[in-house]
């Protein structure tokens, strides 16, 4: 009897938690709601350097139903993309304890007529502990943080793009 009561209490508690979560407006992040005129996009990256952000952004745009480089439509141009690493903190022996990583991207969005509708500079930063005795692990951690920053910047670009109000003909 006690086991049945515990199970019943657990079900009631779980139901109450679900109701509270739905009442506060919580929902899982899914794909963005993209207006139909925004579903075709030409993506241009700087020719002089290989963009680390471009493949991440392309996958995210396509996953949200945007045809990338499909011809006519809006134009998203990544003007510049800059990564940097600097010493964030030093230890007692002047050894580096932490590095600060940053990725800065400057982009512009133009409508089908070539008029700029959005121009922004976005920045993502991360700090990580550095251990000179574990150089390989620190390098792998740095690479992973750059990947995460690219994903963060791609998500920000997508959200800004999805919130554009296309001109009605």
Outline where the chain has alpha helix (H). 2-23, 53-63, 135-162
CA 114 to chain centre: 26
- The reply to whether 119 falls in a domain is yes
Q: What was the pLDDT predicted at 28? A: 47
Structure tokens at 107: 């982009």
- The reply to whether 139 falls in a domain is yes
Task: Answer yes or no: are the C-beta atoms of 32 and 158 closer than 8 Å.
Answer: yes
CATH label of the domain that carries residue 141: 3.30.160.150
- The reply to whether 44 falls in a domain is yes
Residue-range definition of the domain harbouring residue 61: 36-162
Q: What was the pLDDT predicted at 150? A: 94
Task: Answer yes or no: are the C-beta atoms of 157 and 57 closer than 8 Å.
Answer: yes
Integer Cα distance of 151 and 121 in angstroms? 16
State pTM to two decimals. Answer: 0.75
Q: What was the pLDDT predicted at 78? A: 93
Q: What was the pLDDT predicted at 132? A: 65
- The reply to whether 92 falls in a domain is yes
Q: What was the pLDDT predicted at 94? A: 65
- The reply to whether 62 falls in a domain is yes
Q: What was the pLDDT predicted at 71? A: 74
Q: What was the pLDDT predicted at 20? A: 73
- The reply to whether 169 falls in a domain is no
Q: What is the count of structural domains for the chain?
A: 1
- The reply to whether 146 falls in a domain is yes
Report mean pLDDT in 10-residue bins for the chain, 169 residues: 70 76 57 78 81 91 88 88 82 75 94 93 88 69 90 95 79
- The reply to whether 53 falls in a domain is yes
């Amino acid at each position: 009897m006690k086991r049945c009561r515990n199970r019943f209490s657990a079900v009631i508690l779980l139901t109450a938690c679900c109701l509270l979560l739905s009442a506060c407006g919580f929902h899982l992040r899914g794909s963005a709601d993209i207006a139909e005129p925004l579903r075709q996009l030409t993506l241009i990256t700087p020719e002089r350097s290989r963009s680390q952000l471009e493949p991440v952004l392309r996958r995210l745009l396509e996953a949200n139903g945007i045809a990338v480089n499909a011809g006519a439509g809006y134009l998203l141009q990544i003007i510049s993309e800059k990564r940097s690493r600097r010493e964030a903190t030093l230890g007692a022996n002047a050894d580096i304890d932490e590095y600060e990583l940053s990725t800065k991207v400057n982009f512009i969005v133009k409508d089908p007529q070539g008029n700029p509708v959005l121009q922004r500079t976005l920045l993502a930063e991360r700090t990580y502990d550095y251990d000179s005795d574990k150089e390989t692990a620190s390098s792998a951690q740095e690479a992973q943080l750059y990947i995460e920053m690219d994903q963060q910047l791609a998500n920000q670009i997508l959200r800004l793009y999805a919130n554009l109000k296309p001109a009605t003909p």
